[in-house]
Structure 1
Amino acid sequence: MVSVADMLLTLRRHWRHYLTEAAGLAVFVAVSGGAAVVFHHPVSAVARALGPQWVQRIGLGVVMGALVAALSYSPWGRRSGAHLNPAVTLGFWQLGHVQTVDALWYGLAQFSGALAASAAMARLLGPWFGHSLIHYNTTRPLAGPHGWAVALVAETVISALLMLALLVALHSARLKKWAGALVGALLAVFIVVEAPLSGMSLNPARTLGTAVAAGQAPALWLYFVGPLVGMWGTAWGYGRYRRHRYPAARPPQYPEPDPG
């Protein structure tokens, strides 16, 4: 059971890590919102030059994938481990890498960063951000009676794939240094391929922030359930697999927060 004293003590010790997570997610939300306007708004010269929406999504995917990779390898990312997503934090908590108190503070920081950045972008970009093709960069399921089910399955699957790829990379001496780039590349692919099905969230904090900025939260629950279940379930299953396959193996070193 986590006490208030535990929370306050850990905050004093690790506040830099939590601030880094809040700032990192704020940067991600701000850049994704600005990029959505650049690549999708009808008055944007970039959007007109690229043409069809699937081509526009390629441009958006490249930008966001590169951003995630850059954040992962940056001093900021190395300080906190660059989770930048409550679902990723939950997965690492399941594996025993993150203590419960730290996981709670990480989650609070991530949601705070996403909420603040979404509100700021809504104020700064005004009507461009609220255009129907951008809609505050919210994630929404397909229209129709079964749109929510398609979005839920899609979010769960891409979340599980992302966590699996991350864990495989982190368990490989050859691939570990490429983990950030791999996550960025997968994110880019998901934006191009999966976004039409659910809006491509992967991140409950990002979805909540944009929903609050828009004043609408269509099927918000599925953008929590899908990523959280997908990443937690994958971490649980992969942990069991590793313990069964390599019972004497040394526990892997996950992205470690900088203790300084």
Structure 2
Amino acid sequence: MTLLSEMRHAWHRHWSHYAAEAAGIGFFMLCGTLLTILFEYPASPVYQALAGQDLLRRAGIGLGMGLVIVVLVYNPWGKKSGAHINPAVTIAFWQMGKIRRADALWYMLAQLSGALLMGQLLKLTLGSVFAHPAVNYLVTEPKEHGQLVAFGAEFVISFILMVVMLLALHHERLKKSTGWLIGVLLLLYITFESPLSSMSLNPARTLGSAVAAQSYTGLWLYWVAPIAAMLLATVFFNSVYKGEELACAILAGCEAAPTARTPPRPTPPSPQCTRRKR
């Protein structure tokens, strides 16, 4: 079967999964923008109350975005698609054989489409507020430390994120709490790491903001670092758990997948439950 045929058949089986991924990353960008406006826009009463408290304001955004991730992972649509909402995450799971090639391509197309569309919608609806330097279209660009530091920071936080996800999904007790662990990491990253790289982790989200702002400084590193780091994380995981399979790529835990329950009638397999023998 050719790739185009695979993708056509995959679309008919799992289009709702792809819609969930597009909506998920769009919701993530929307919440990130609203939280940034709340804590950083000069006219915001929250910003005025916390003026001069940069760390506290970043912690507020981090807490909010951590809770957003929890909502995305554990809502019905997130459980359906696995709540990747990140091409780097999807590529890593594909490399491990946890998602089919055609589904992985559709996931990434959906993630990119959702981020680009939301970036334009926010630009259209929020106008000067979205463009204000304090918000700056939610652009992720290297800070004053330069691109090399930004690359290193993105690589490290992406590697840690993927390792935590894989170890949690492999752990009998922790796998249902993977979304909460990711939320805690986002809180820490936004609070403490964002001054180094603006804290992206997500190539699609960065692209959506970059296109809206028409600003592409350092865009390459926000693609290369997360993807390379997460692929390396899968190598690390496989070296630690040689011969042991990761059950699935559902961030809410495999039991959350619709196919994990006995359906009343046969249903197509979830795209994240493909196994590959090593």
Which TM-score tier does this pair reach, normalised by the shorter chain? over 0.9
After TM superposition, list the pairs within 5 Å mapping 1:81-92 onto structure 2: 81-92=82-93
Q: Is the 8 A contact 1:142 1:197 kept in 2?
A: yes
Alignment RMSD, CA only? 1.5
| Greater than 6 Å deviation, 4+ residue runs | none
How far apart, CA to CA, are the structure 1 residues paired with 2:246 and 2:98? 10
Q: Is the 8 A contact 1:91 1:231 kept in 2?
A: yes
Matched residue type, 2:208: G
Which 5+ residue runs of structure 2 have no aligned equivalent?
260-266, 268-278
After TM superposition, list the pairs within 5 Å mapping 1:161-180 onto structure 2: 161-180=160-179
| Matching residue of 1:182 | 181
Partner of 1:16: helix, strand, or coil? helix
How far apart, CA to CA, are the structure 2 residues paired with 1:60 and 1:128? 17
Q: Is the 8 A contact 1:94 1:236 kept in 2?
A: no
Residue 2 of structure 1 deviates from its aligned partner by 5.1
TM normalised by structure 2 equals 0.88
Which 5+ residue runs of structure 1 have no aligned equivalent?
none
| Matching residue of 1:26 | 26
How far apart, CA to CA, are the structure 2 residues paired with 1:241 and 1:63? 33
Question: What's the CA shift string for 1:68-117, capped at 9, x where partnerless?
Answer: 01110110110000101111111111111011111110000000000111
Question: What's the CA shift string for 1:102-136, capped at 9, x where partnerless?
Answer: 11100000000001111111111111111112110
Residue 53 of structure 1 deviates from its aligned partner by 1.8
| Matching residue of 2:17 | 17
The reply to whether residue 252 of structure 1 matches residue 253 of structure 2 is no
- 202-211 vs 82-91, greater mean Cα deviation: 82-91
How far apart, CA to CA, are the structure 1 residues paired with 2:258 and 2:197? 35
Residue 251 of structure 1 deviates from its aligned partner by 4.4
**Identity in percent:** 43
Q: Is the 8 A contact 1:141 1:148 kept in 2?
A: yes
After TM superposition, list the pairs within 5 Å mapping 1:1-260 onto structure 2: 3-51=3-51, 52-143=53-144, 147-243=146-242, 247=243, 249=244, 251-255=246-250, 258=258
The alignment of Structure 1 onto Structure 2 pairs a total of residues equal to: 254
How far apart, CA to CA, are the structure 1 residues paired with 2:162 and 2:3? 30
Residue 139 of structure 1 deviates from its aligned partner by 0.3
Partner of 1:56: helix, strand, or coil? helix
| Matching residue of 2:270 | none
